[in-house]
Structure 1
Amino acid sequence: MENNKEYYFITNKFLAMTMSYLLQEKYYQFEHKDYADRKVYSFKDTAKFREVLTLVQNIKNENKDTLQS
């Protein structure tokens, strides 16, 4: 993941789909020169986006041990 001013780039498709669903917003998919081996998914970097991203990351971290079993 990478923050780039007005937009926030995500390189994980599953995270992009999760964020899109929770925010009820579409993401933009494109190729990026720094990530030639994968797609980049872009969202407007808003306070709402950051709040949902934090919640998703916290849930993922809380369940990390469960997912690895």
Structure 2
Amino acid sequence: MMPLSMAKPGEPVTIHRISGKDEVRQHLAELGFVVGSEVMVVNELGGNLILQVKDSRIALDKTMASRIQF
């Protein structure tokens, strides 16, 4: 498994694991980041990742993105 921050832009990946405290995992789940869902890195800007999750685009910093493993 690799952290989401290592995913290549334009390549869809499936989430296998989310690490961190319960509050962090709950927050990511509310944004749509759940195990088994597919996400795609759209772009990387200034250390932040723009991610496509379902029909939404969400920006995460690399620290938060590194908690999501694919």
Under a length normalisation based on structure 1, what TM-score does the superposition of the two structures give?
A: 0.32
**Which one has a larger percent helix, Structure 1 or Structure 2?**
1
**Which one has a larger percent strand, Structure 1 or Structure 2?**
2
- Greater C-alpha radius of gyration: 1
Under a length normalisation based on structure 2, what TM-score does the superposition of the two structures give?
A: 0.31
